[in-house]
Each structure stands twice: as C-alpha cells, then as structure tokens.
Amino acid sequence: MQYFVGLDRLRESHMIQRGILLDILDRQALHPLFQPIMDLHHGEIIGYEGLIRGPIGSELHLPQALFRAAERTELLVRLEMLCIYTVMTQFIQAVLPGRLFVNISPFALLAGALSDPLLKDLIGEHSELNGRVVFEITEGSPQMDNESVVAGLMTLRERGFKIALDDLGEGFSSLRLWSDVRPDFVKLDKHFVTGIDKDPVKLQFVRSLKQIAEKSNAIIIAEGIEHRAELLILKEMGICLGQGYFIGRPVVHPESRPSAAAQACLDEALISANPWSKMVLQRGRQARLLLTEVPTVTVQTASEDALKILLANPELNVLPVLDGKVPVGLLNRTMVDKFSHGYVRDLYSRKSCTVFMEKTPLIVDVEMPVVALSQLVLMQGQKRFADGFILVREGAYVGVGSNFALMQEMTKLQIQEARYANPLTMLPGNVPVNEQIELLLGNGQNFCACYVDLDWFKPFNDVFGYSRGDELIKLTANVLINHADKDIDFVGHIGGDDFFVLFQSPDWEPRCQAILQAFDNAVQSYLQHENLGDGCYVAEDRRGNRAEYNFPTLSIGAVPVGRNQYRECHEIAAAATEVKKAAKKISGSSFYVDRRAMPLSQARVLAAA
C-alpha cells in the first residue's frame, strides 16, 4: 500500500513540475547568460557560450533542475528549441562579437529541434549568425544510435555550422564521436582542468588529448578555469582556448575583454613556477623506457592454446590479448591455477581465451611520463599490481611494462630529483633554479632575480649549534615562501644559508621589503623563545679572542631582468652575486637593487625599517 501511495505522490510531483515548465515555455520565460571563451595566448575573446536560466525565484531557475524536469515530463525537445531561440536572439540583440557556442543534445538534434519554425530565420542561410554558430553536442544516452547521431552532425556541418564536443572525458560515447565526426572544437570536462596544476595524472591526460586534437585538426577548449595556476599550466602546455570564472563569469551583458586577472597573466607573459609540472612536461622519463616484448594472443585464440604459452614460458607473468592491433585484455598466471581443476579444462579449453582475461587492464601511451604513470598505477590499487600495464602507440599495441620496473625507474628519478633539492628545506637547488631562469629568458619574460643571504650565520651556528642553525635556515625558507606568489614566483635554496628567488610578481620590491621585516620579526621571536638574548652576543672568534657578534640579519641583492638584457642564467647569477655582496655591506637587514639593471632614477639602496 505504501508503495502505491509513494507512486501517486511521485506522479503528482511530476504533474506539478510539468505545469510549471509548460507555463515557462508558453511565456518564453527563459533568461540567457553568456560566458566568454578566450584565446589563452593572445587574450582575445573569440566567442561566447550561451547558457540558460529559468525564472528567478522558481524551483526551475537552475539549469540542472530545469532540464531534469524536462526529461521527466517529456518536454526536453521543446525546452532545447526554446533555449536555442532565446540564446541566439539575445546574442544578436546584444551585438556580441565572435562565435556563439550553443548546446544541443543528440536526442533533441535527432528529434528535429532545429526544424522548428521559430528557428528558421536564426539558422537560415541569410541569418546574421551565418558562419558564427558552433553547436556543442552534449553527452548522449547510451541507448542512442551512434550512426544516426553522426549523420545528424554531418548534416549540420554541411549547412555551415561548426561542431564542438562538450564535456569530453565525462563519458565514453564522446570519445567515439570524436573519432567518427572529427569536430572543430573539443571541450575538456571541468574535472580534468580543476587542480591540474597539482595533479600529474590530469596534466598527462590533457596533454594526451591535445596530441590527439592536433592530429585530428580539432581545437581544445579547457572549461572550468577558476584559478591563475590552472591558466598558467594550460597556457604552457599549448592549449589554445579556455573558459571559466577566472576568465569571465556567465552574465547577461558580458565584457568583450577577459577579467583583469586573466589579462594580467597574458600581458605579463607569466610562466608557472610549479617544479613538478615541469618534470612531467619537460624532464620526465617516458614509459617507452619500460617496454618489454612478450608473446601475444588474439581474441580468437583458444584458452588451451593460451595456457600452453604460459606453461612454456615460466618467466612470463602476463599475456596480452589483441583484437587486430588493439589490446583488449590481459591474461595472467591465475589462468594456470584455474585450469588445474579438471572441470574447467573440460568446459573452456576450446573456448576463446577472452573468458579468462582481465578486461580492463591499464593501457598507456609509450610517451607518458613515468611520473604520471606511477600515479595511475597507485590508483589501480594493490590487487592488480602484478599485472603491470600495456603500452600502445596511437592506440596500437607495442608491448608491456612491469610495475616493478616502474618502481625502479621512479626510485632513480627521485634520487635524481633529490640531488637537485636541498635536503633541509626541500626547496629546488641550483639545477632547477638555472632551468627556471633559462625558461624565463627564453620566454622573453621580465622578472627580478634576488640573491638572498643570511648575515652573521656562521658564528651563530658555531656558538649555538647546528640544530639551531638549521632552525634559522628553515625559518628563512618559510619567510621567503610566504611572501612569494606560489603560482609564478620561484623560491630556490642553492646551498648553506643562500637562497635564490625569481620574482615574476610586478610588486617584487615591496615583497622584498616585507621579507626583511618578517625575517627580523621572526628572528626576534625565535631568540626570545629560545632565551638566546637580544641584539648581540659575545663569543670567541677563530683566533680564540672574545668578540661581539650581531644576531643574524638578511641581505637581498636584486637584479631586475628585462627582455634581451641577459643571454644565459650564469650571467644573471654573476650579477646577483655582486649585488648581494653590496647588500651585505649595509648594516642590518638590507635590500640592494642593481643600478646597472634599471634606470638610474630607480636604482637605490633600501634598508629594513
């Protein structure tokens, strides 16, 4: 009885929603918003995506609720048609430049939503939008006939419309559509953009899709860019277009320029300062180094024949299963155990070996960096660790790799990276600092190279012990990190009490002043906490004579670097060393700017208050 009561309430709810939705459709009470799509390299707005909201205050105001109600009440085609009409009409009235990206589902496309008389003048041959409309195809139902969808999209293309695949990566059918339709644009799902500056797997995923896009003549649009660090990484990867709150929010009357923050990233040609992303994008060893050739079988191979191969090769842990050149599964040595039971041999010996294969093995491209591959392996879990992974090139099988070999390679890489990082602060050392300088120089970027050095550190370390000396080094590192912009400023520890900061932040000068003040305050607090005194202390010098020493202060030598001013990192390092020496001649914590590297009127000596 309760079941039928619940069913009646559900029907009543759907009827109420249908009534609300019909009223919205009859009154054409939809409200369009437009979100800019930006060229990530030139800062130009190339077009806008048209979005829809229901009436303000209505339970169907948000698009999720609006379209969910349309699906439940079988009004989806009518709703999508009205959405397209509303977006196109407002786009024309607002005289917005560039392309208009309009969403349409495969269901609405095949159901004839674009054939409605209301759209005749808007999408006809003489429309003001002729040649400017891009239809974004959203993820379709798994039950939809792919051939029909492809035919519908080809018809749109013949009529002069551009095609975009929306939310790539959200489902699998869009990947097949990409192969069949060869769209003009491919929009990456927000999931793969959010936090890409912190996730090597997402970074590699997007890079792989970019490679596919280049070969299929598609343009990638990264959706959901909400932070500067995400924009910088995507730009550095060569992604052409992007959209998201960091660039511009969806509004009724959008600007023809990106947000000030996004524009600043482009105007200043900023480069990401994330060390691990450069390891993935540039220095990372690739999976092809782990490639091993092993026997293979096909989907037609009988189970008994596959078993014979495993038995004849005791060292063989896995046996890839191919369909043509494409890997579809993996047989492992558990097959031997299963065939030890007589009834299994009797039932399956002549059947296809696919009965026993692992149907979802880890398959990766030979060009994938081992850093990203190791993350994928960890996500797979311990259960399938022994199976390793299959290596492909452009989708075709080339070999296998073992996770043991991967862990060995990762250990080598970590040892190599550890050589380039300071063990006390874990900040990048000389090699990464030089690489970042070369990258900035190659990009023609204006930046400021600051040599940061502790004064009076050696006597402090000798008198109070290396443990307190280490604490002071770590205190200095924390001060520098806290006053640098983590997205664009690079902080390195080049040895002992020497640090190197590469500022892309235009306000590097007040940041340096703030560093000096923060350092002095932090040292004073530390001395009081440790009861080490105040101002100065008396200790024996190297000759055994008693001498008075100041507690450590900080010197910063700054070298502003303009375009074409220096050719290589060693020239900048030499100039910074000279300027640092000048800073150390000044009493107390001090900041010295290179007079030769900037106009004389700006060159000056600054001391901490």
- pLDDT, residue 241, reads 96
* The two structure tokens encoding residue 124: 């006809």
Query: Is 482 a domain residue?
Result: yes
For residues 170 and 63, the model is more confident at 63
Structural domains in the chain (count):
3
- Output the six-digit token pair for 84: 């397209």
Cβ-contact 138, 170 below 8 angstroms: no
pLDDT band at 582 (very low <50, low <70, confident <90, very high): very high
Which has more pLDDT, 274 or 559?
Answer: 559
**Phi, psi dihedral angles at 352 (to 5 degrees):** -60, 145
Share of the chain above pLDDT 70, in %: 87
Give the strand pairing for 363-365 and 389-393. Answer: parallel
Confidence band (pLDDT; 50, 70, 90) for 480? very high
Q: Are 497 and 584 in contact (CB under 8 A)?
A: no
Which of 97-101, 358-362, 365-369, 463-467: highest mean pLDDT?
97-101
Query: Per-residue pLDDT for 594 more than 50?
Result: yes
Predicted local distance difference test score (pLDDT) of residue 274: 66
Per-residue confidence band for 605, with pLDDT thresholds at 50, 70 and 90: very low
pLDDT higher than 90, residue 222: yes
Task: Mark whether 178 and 200 lie in a shared domain.
Answer: yes
Answer left, alpha or beta for residue 535, where phi above 0 means left and psi between -120 and 50 means alpha: left
Q: Give the residue-averaged pLDDT of 532-555.
A: 77
Question: Is 465 found in the same domain as 492?
Answer: yes
More confident residue, 213 or 498: 498
Confidence of residue 462 (pLDDT cuts 50, 70, 90): confident
Query: Does 280 score more than 80 pLDDT?
Result: no
Does 330 lie in the same domain as 273? no
Lookup result for tokens 């010996």: 349
Read off the pLDDT band of 444 (50, 70, 90).
confident
- CB 213, CB 219: distance < 8 Å: yes
Which position has the token pair 């910063």? Answer: 556
Does residue 503 lie in a domain region? yes
**Contact (CB, 8 A) for 476 and 501:** no
Shared domain check, 277 and 177: yes
**What is the average per-residue pLDDT within 227-234?**
91
**3-class DSSP string for 265-305:** HHHCCCCCCCHHHHHHHHHCCEHHHHCECCCCEECCCEHHH
Answer yes or no: are the C-beta atoms of 43 and 258 closer than 8 Å: yes
Q: Looking at the domain assignment, is residue 7 inside a domain?
A: no
Asked if residue 593 is part of any domain, the answer here is yes
Per-residue confidence (pLDDT) for residue 281, from 0 to 100: 53
Q: Is the pLDDT of residue 577 over 70?
A: yes
Say whether pLDDT at 254 is over 70: yes
Same domain flag for 279 and 303: no
Query: What confidence tier does 124 reach under pLDDT thresholds 50, 70, 90?
Result: confident
pLDDT of residue 377: 80
368 and 476 in a single domain? The answer is no
Residue 287: which residues within 8 A CB-CB, separation 6 or more?
364, 365, 366, 367, 368, 369, 370, 373, 389, 391, 401
Give mean pLDDT, residues 142-160. Answer: 84
pLDDT for position 608? 43
Where is pLDDT greater, at 486 or 48? 48
Please indicate, yes or no, whether residues 279 and 292 belong to a single structural domain of this protein. no
- pLDDT at residue 527, rounded to an integer: 83
| Residue 1 resides in a domain | no
- pLDDT of 395 > 80? The answer is yes
Q: Enter the pTM of the model.
A: 0.65
Nearest Cα residue to 136 out of 195, 221, 41, 73: 221
Q: Return the pLDDT at 365.
A: 86
In this structure, is residue 15 part of a structural domain? no
Spell out the residues 6+ positions from residue 17 whose beta carbon is closer than 8 angstroms to its own: 60, 69, 72, 73
The top-scoring range by mean pLDDT among 268-272, 425-429, 473-477 is 473-477
Q: What is the pLDDT of residue 279?
A: 53
β partners of residue 45 = 38
| Number of residues in the chain | 609
Give the pLDDT band of residue 92 (cuts 50, 70, 90): very high
Mean pLDDT of 442-467: 88
Judging by DSSP bridges, how do beta strands 536-540 and 546-550 pair with one another?
antiparallel
Q: Are residues 271 and 343 in the same domain?
A: no
Query: What does the block give as tokens for 570?
Result: 């060693």
Cα 292 from Cα 282, distance rounded (Å): 24
For residues 545 and 170, give the distance between their C-alpha atoms in angstroms, rounded to a whole number.
Answer: 73
Note the pLDDT tens digit of each residue in 301-355.
Answer: 999 999 999 999 988 989 999 999 999 999 998 888 888 887 788 888 889 999 9
Q: What is the pLDDT of residue 276?
A: 53
Q: Report the range of poorest mean pLDDT among 219-223, 258-262, 544-548.
A: 544-548
Could you tell me where the beta strands, DSSP code E, fall in 360-497?
A: 363-365, 389-393, 396-401, 447-455, 490-495
The answer on 589 and 464 residing in a single domain is: yes
Banded pLDDT at 210 (limits 50, 70, 90): confident
Specify if 349 maps to a domain.
Answer: yes
pLDDT at 549: 80
Specify whether 265 is located in the same domain as 337: no
Give the position of tokens 């936090």: 195
Range list of H helices, 453-507: 457-464, 466-483
For residue range 3-46, list pLDDT tens digits in order.
Answer: 444 555 666 677 888 889 999 989 999 999 999 999 998 889 99
pLDDT (mean) for 150-169: 88
Range(s) of the domain holding residue 314 = 287-411
pLDDT at residue 414, as a whole number: 66
Q: What is the mean pLDDT of the chain?
A: 85
Same domain, 152 and 203: yes
Interval 53-59 mean pLDDT:
91
CB-CB contact of 52 with 65 (8 Å): no
Could you tell me what percent of the chain has a pLDDT over 90? 47
List Cβ neighbours of 602 (8 Å cut-off, separation of 6 or more): 593
Report the alpha-carbon distance of residue 561 to residue 448 in Å, rounded.
6
Give the start-end residues of each E strand in 96-218: 99-104, 133-137, 162-168, 185-188
Domain final residue pick, 346, 377, 411: 411
CATH at residue 487: 3.30.70.270
215 vs 226, residue with greater confidence = 226
